[in-house]
Structure formats: C-alpha cells, structure tokens
Amino acid sequence: MTALEALSACLSFLVSQNPRFGEALAKVPNGSSCVVDSEDPQDWAKAIKNVRLKKSQTRLEECQAVRRHYDEMYSWNKQCNNLVEQMISIVHDRYLTGLSVYF
C-alpha cells in the first residue's frame, strides 16, 4: 500500500519484484525502474543511490510517467467494471443452473 500511496503522490519509491505490485509495475512502461529484483542489500543500496542521484525534477517526471502508464493499464474504472461483469456472470450462471433443476 505504501508504494501505491507514493505512486499516487508522485514520490520516488522502490519495491521488490516479489509482491504483486512489483510484478504489475514490471509490466508497465518505465515501471521496472521502480522494481528491485534482488534480495541483496547491496543491490538495494545501489538502487537507492541511483534514485537519490537524480535531480528532483527528473524523479518527478519519471514518477508521473509511471503513474500515467499504470493508470492506463490498471485503471480503477476498468477493474471495477471487470469485477461487476464477473459478479453478474456468476449470478446469471447460478440462476440458469437453478432453473435447469426444475425442467
């Protein structure tokens, strides 16, 4: 959740490849720049150092690009519509299954 909050606020952040958010970010253009695919503390230190060496304007622009691409790929509107469609399909299928018992 913290990484999502940082993304929403356009703050620099790094996440592990392991959580689902890291997997999702890796699929987003420029998102892999926020993902550290290592458990090694030295790799994390290097990634943190690379972020800190960038100018604040550059970090802001990169985060805005990642957020824009993430929003396009995983928009709340699309996700909610997909959920509603799945729920309707389940209810509809159960209704039809229940009807076939009576015929």
The answer to whether residue 98 is domain-embedded is no
Q: What is the 3-state secondary structure (H, E, C) of the chain?
A: CHHHHHHHCCCCCCEECCCHHHHHHHHCCCHHHHEECCCCHHHHHHHHHHHHHCCHHHHHHHHHHHHHHHHHHCCHHHHHHHHHHHHHHHHHHHHHHHHHHHC
Residue 61 confidence class, pLDDT cut points 50, 70, 90: very high
Per-residue pLDDT at 99: 57
The answer to whether residue 103 is domain-embedded is no
The answer to whether residue 95 is domain-embedded is no
What domain count does the chain have? 1
The answer to whether residue 88 is domain-embedded is no
Q: Which domain holds residue 71?
A: 2-75
**Which tens digits make up the pLDDT trace of 76-101?**
788 788 889 998 888 887 776 665 55
Residue 73 confidence class, pLDDT cut points 50, 70, 90: confident
The answer to whether residue 87 is domain-embedded is no
Per-residue pLDDT at 98: 65
The answer to whether residue 80 is domain-embedded is no
**Which tens digits make up the pLDDT trace of 37-53?**
999 999 999 999 999 99
